[in-house]
Each structure stands twice: as C-alpha cells, then as structure tokens.
Amino acid sequence: MLSKFALSLLAAAALGLSLDGAADVARIREEFRKKQADAAARSDAALTGGWLDTLWKAAADAKDDDARFGALLLAQQVADFGSTESCKEWRGKVREEILSRFADDAKRMGDLLRVAGTPQTREALLARTKNKSIQATCLWVEASGYLATLRREKLSEEAAKRLDELMALLRTDYKDELDSKGRRFGDVVEGKLRQMNDLVVGKVAPEIEGKDLDGAPFKLSDYRGKIVVLDFWGNW
C-alpha cells in the first residue's frame, strides 16, 4: 500500500514530466523557428536528431491528443527540414504515427497539410483517410500546386492531365465538401475554371449583381458605355 504522501509525490512527478514535455516542445519550436533559414542546420545530425528524440518522447508522454499532435506535427516539420539519412527515416516514422492516430480528424489534418504538406505526406494522407472532406482538401492542395505553376509556365502534358483529373473530381464527387473557409469545393473549382477560361482579355465580363456598402442593389452592367476598373479590394 502506498501512503497518501507517496501518491502525491508520484502525481507531482507525473505532472512534472508532462510539464517538462510541453516545455521541451515549446523550446524546440522556438529554436526551430530561428534555424529554419539556416541551411547548415539541415545537415546538422546532432541538432535535428536531438530535437526529434525529444519530440518523440514528448508525444509518447503527452497528457492529451492536443499535446501529442502538437509534438508530432513539429517533429514532422523538423524531419522534413533535415537532410540527413536519420531525418529521412524519421519522416516516415512520424508520418505513420500521425496518420495512425489522426487521419480522419479534419481539423488536425488541415493543420498538417498547411504546415507540413509535402507531396509524400499529402499522398499518404489521401490514401489513408476515410474522411471525404480531408480527401477533397488533399486533391485541392495538389491542384493548387499545378495552378501556381501554371501562372508562371506551361504545364507538362502529364501535369496538365492530372490537373484536369483533379478539377473534374472536385467538381463532381467532392463538390459538396467544404474548404477551410466554408466554401463548397464545387464552387471554388467552377470559379477557378471560369477565371482561367472565361475571365481573359477579349471576353465579356460576366454580370455581377449585388449590393453596395450601403445596402443598395446594383449591377455591373449598369456601367455599360463607360470604361470600368473592377477592383477586388479589402481594407487589410
């Protein structure tokens, strides 16, 4: 039988451990932030290896899923950042741990794609998740990569074909899934396709009907006969 005193000591030790884990994660997050622009840190096996060991332990000891996911997400970023063989092994190991626990958690997987969305991680998540909204997000992130390339240069035949495929999936099977801002992927993709195909020099701009900032209704076509500068703006 343990005395009350011994129990409270044990509880304090357990609490101390998890607090230390959280403090370690916070410390590494700060150090990592400072080193991200430092190319030499990528191949510094002692630095990234030390971080990864500590983060892995913090994840194992974490008091809840928020703390666990936070430690693992940072570990994934560190492993993706490092260029050593050991980091390459960690990448798969950390990714597997994240996906085995959180692959169907839309909010956390949105965070994963945003801060550690390498093609490898995105593909692994798409293959693993059963959540349709996460699948749609994976497809859209991939499509967005091609769209960004397309603004600078022509796509390879293979990439252009894949982009068509992704857009077709998003406007059919996934059209009612919502993006992180609450928009239907169907609407987002239709808009993007309209921008690429119809909102080009030489075509007539589509009608806009809406209300002005005082609530009065008006239409873009009210201004036919005038030269119009249409300015999508915001005060930020």
Partner 1 sequence: MYPHERSLVARLKDEPFALIGINSDEDLEKLKPTLAKENISWRSFWNGAKGTAGPISTSWGVSSWPTIYVLDETGTIRFINVREQKLDEAVDTLLAELKAKRADGK
Residues in contact with partner 1 by CB under 8 A are 179, 181-183, 187-188, 190-196, 199-206, 208, 210-213, 218, 220-221, 223-236
Contact (CB, 8 A) for 184 and 176: yes
What's the gap between Cα 18 and its chain centre? 27
Separation between Cα atoms, residue 56 and residue 24, nearest integer Å: 11
Longest CA–CA span in the chain (Å) reads 92
**Is the Cβ of residue 80 or residue 177 nearer to partner 1 in the bound state?**
177
Q: How far is the CB of 171 from partner 1 (least distance, A)?
A: 13
Nearer to partner 1, 5 or 233 (CB): 233
Minimum Å distance from CB 152 to partner 1? 14
Q: Which of 18, 122, 30, 123 is nearest to 78 (CA)?
A: 30
Q: What are phi and psi of 224, to 5 degrees?
A: -55, 145
**Between 104 and 187, CB nearer to partner 1:** 187
Nearest-10 crossing angle of helices 65-81, 106-116: 20
Q: How far apart are the first and last CA of the chain?
A: 64
For partner 1, which is the closer residue by CB, 13 or 201? 201
- What one-letter code names the amino acid at 81? F
Minimum distance from CB of 187 to partner 1 (Å)?
Answer: 5
CB closer to partner 1 out of 119 and 206:
206
User: Nearest approach, Cβ of 199 to partner 1 (angstroms)?
Assistant: 6
Q: Which burial class, exposed, middle or buried, applies to 21 when counting CB atoms under 10 A from its CB (0-12, 13-18, 19+)?
A: buried
Minimum Å gap between C-beta 38 and partner 1 is 30
CB closer to partner 1 out of 39 and 201: 201
Report, in Å, the least distance between residue 225 CB and partner 1: 5
